[in-house]
Every structure is written in structure tokens, then in C-alpha cells.
Amino acid sequence: MANPILEFTPPPRLLLGPGPSMVHSRVLRAMATPLLGHLDPTFLQLMDDVQQLLRNVFRTANRFTIAVSGTGSAGMEAALVNLIEPGDPVVVGVNGLFGARMAAIVERCGGKLFRVEAPWGKIIEPDNILKTLSQSGPMKIVALVHAETSTGVSQPLEEIGTLCRDHGCLLVVDTVTSLGGLPVEVDGWGIDACYSATQKCLSCPPGLAPLTLSERALTVIRNRKTPCQSWYLDLSLLADYWTEGKRAYHHTAPISMLYALREALRLVEEEGLAARFARHRLNSAALMAGLTALGLSPLARNGPRLPSLNCVTLPAHVQDAPVRASLLQEFGIEIGGGLGALQGKVWRIGLMGESSTRSNVLTLLSSLEKIFLRRGWIARAGIALEAASQLYLSQSQGTHTEAPAPTHA
């Protein structure tokens, strides 16, 4: 007789990778709330709550603000397949893996792709976007990644939003690793379609993709000449389910996930966006101080870096996989390795949402010190902890009012 399959009990983990992040106990409890029908009036009220809370964190008044049933990649696909028809000219900024993924979706939609590229670790310069808009004829869309998870680069957007308005095209932005961890100003920056994911700075389990559309974007969708290539992600159909007063059946919503997202967004609101952003900046600066003491350096040295995802280059003597394996097996800590051309060359350390705490920063640095000391990569213990603690001390004494922001190259 085969052995029975036992109840699953995951080992304790400190999640400091590129996602998912740690989840507050209140969010986990919300997921255990008894189910309602997805057309139950009480559940529909919860959907209204989620929409308003998402508007607050997206910093938008957009009527169409929803949570797509699917992970962040579903949000990416929903934004692009609804706006792009065959032959539509689309500019995509590619400076990492997720910009390349956007470009691939454009091609699958039959769009005419114009890639504006930058080396991994650099931003897409607004002047290069302007050059393409000026020289390549009318464009329908410019698509960019605000927080490139593969490199830790933070893309400036305000100037590009103005360029898009001036040239009559839509701006589509990926905020998967930024929403809830650093400012995202959908209305202020002129963003027309903005999507994210629940499992990063919002600290909710993966499974939903917050998405907001401007009236300009909605007009484009309503005036399509061809049907959207995806039935499940057709936003003109989803709009009827999420619109108050209509609530037409489209698909069975992930009820427990929406319970969880509502509670995660309530936690964001209770903390306040300004305080939340400051917390992410401070803990990122302390982590980088400690990692610098260990001989690691940021991949994005001369440009804007993410406080939510810290991508650091490894010295030649530091072995990537063995250290990450030791962190996981000995200390129960997960960090991420590099993707694509950066595999084996960088670590991606997430301090997102519930994961962004002083305790977690010091725990990780202490564990790395032990591994580095054992392998002879540092001369003494304490150097990383001292560097991070000094930064925290300077903050508490008022001599360091904000985590240092790298100057634009």
C-alpha cells in the first residue's frame, strides 16, 4: 500500500528575493474568511472597496481600476493585448528582462515594434524616446518598465509622460515591483495604462494584477477594429463585471485573493504612502551600506535605483549559487540570483512591503557575514552590521534625513 500523502507544512522562510514578499498575518487570516458567491451583494461591495483602495495607491481618479485575475504577467498581457491591434506602431523601452517581455507581447499582437534599448543597469533616456517619436512617424503606444526587477533600475517617467501627450500616444507602464513601495503617480505622470502585481510591495500572495486605465485608453479599447485576441483578458468584457450597477458575469473571481488584497491595501493605507516610501528608502540604504562593506556594489551605480529591489554585482571571488544555497539551507533566507546575461553575476535582494524591516536587513547581513567569514572573504565579523547600524543611527539622530538617492548619470 502506498504511503499516504501527509499534510503539507512549509519550512520557515524569510523571503528577501524578488518576490513573493512576506505577508502580514492579517492578510493570511483574511484568506481564511468563509467564501461568498462572486455575485453576492456583500462581495460586490468588497470589490468596490478594492477599487477605491487601488485608486489611492495608484494615485489616480481613473474609473477603470480593477484587479485582474492572474499574476503580474496577466496584467502586462491585459494592458497590451487590449490596446494593440495588428499593425499598430509601439515603442518599447528594453533595458532588462521585463522590457523584453513587453516587446515579445507586442510582436505576438501583430504590432509594429520599435525597440529603444539601454544596457541592463541603465535607464531608458527620455531623449532616446523623443528621437524615436520624432523620426519614426506617429506612434500608438510607448511602453516602459518603471521598476525593472531584473536589474534594480528605477525608470524616471514624468518627462516621458509629457512626451507621449505631446506626440498623441498612450503611455503604458509596468509597476510590478514599485506599486506600494515607491511613488507611482498615474495621473500626475500622464500614464494611460498601469499594471502591477500583488506579491511584491503590496505584500499579498501572488494571484492578482492591479490595473488602471485612463479615459484615453478606454476610448482606444472601445474603438478597436478587431476583437481583442484574449477572451479571458478582454477588458471591455471585464469592465461590465467591475462596473457598479452592471456586474455582468464574466468569470468566477478569485474570492479569497480579493479578501487578501483588500486587507493588504488597508495595511498600506493605515501606514500611509509617505511613511511607507520612507521605510523602503531607509532599509534599502542600510542594506546597501552593509553589502558595500562586504565588497558588493550596485548594478545601477550611476542612476536611479529601486529601494524595493536591490541588485548588487558580485566580486569574482564570491560564488553565487553556493552562498544562496547556504542562506536558504542554514538560515532559511531566500534571495534571488541574476536573470539572463546576469545569471551568476548579481544578487537580487527584495525589501518589499512586509519584508522591508530593520530586523530583516540585519538578519540577512549577519548571515552573509558568517558565510563570508567562513570562506575567508572578509577579515572579521561585524563590518556589514556596523555599516548598516551606523546608517540607522544617523537617521535616528537626524543627521541623515533620507536614504541617499544616487544622482542621475
Spatial neighbors of 309 by CB under 8 A, at least 6 apart, are: 18, 147, 149, 152, 177, 348, 349, 350, 351, 352
Question: Is residue 405 predicted with pLDDT exceeding 50?
Answer: no
Question: Is residue 404 predicted with pLDDT exceeding 70?
Answer: no
Alpha-carbon gap, residue 307 to 277, rounded angstroms = 9
- Report if pTM > 0.75: yes
Under the banding of pLDDT at 50, 70 and 90, the label for residue 301 is confident
Alpha-carbon gap, residue 151 to 68, rounded angstroms = 26
Phi, psi of 374 (to 5 degrees): -60, -35
Alpha-carbon gap, residue 261 to 266, rounded angstroms = 8
Q: Are 177 and 187 in contact (CB under 8 A)?
A: no
Of the candidates 397, 182, 398, 387, which has an alpha carbon nearest to the alpha carbon of residue 279? 182
Residue with cell 476583437: 227
pLDDT (0 to 100) of residue 399: 54
Q: Which three cell numbers stand for residue 26?
A: 492579517
pLDDT (0 to 100) of residue 398: 72
Residue with cell 510607448: 142
In this predicted model, what pLDDT tens digit does every residue of 171-195 receive, in sequence order?
999 999 999 999 999 999 999 999 9
What's the rounded mean pLDDT across residues 286-298? 97
Under the banding of pLDDT at 50, 70 and 90, the label for residue 1 is low
pLDDT (0 to 100) of residue 74: 97
pLDDT (0 to 100) of residue 137: 87
Q: Which three cell numbers stand for residue 263?
A: 486587507
Q: What distance, in Å, lies between the first and last C-alpha atoms of the chain? A: 66
Considering just the CA atoms, what is the radius of gyration of the chain in Å? 22
In this predicted model, what pLDDT tens digit does every residue of 108-141 receive, in sequence order?
999 999 999 999 999 999 999 999 999 988 999 9
Phi, psi of 7 (to 5 degrees): -60, 140
DSSP conformation letters of 101-119: HHHHHHHHTT-EEEEEE--
Full set of structural domains in the chain with CATH? 25-269 (3.40.640.10), 273-396 (3.90.1150.10)
Residue with cell 478582454: 234
Question: Is residue 228 predicted with pLDDT exceeding 60?
Answer: yes
Of the candidates 284, 362, 371, which has an alpha carbon nearest to the alpha carbon of residue 319? 371
Q: Are 149 and 98 in contact (CB under 8 A)?
A: yes
Least confident segment among 86-90, 212-216, 336-340, 401-405: 401-405
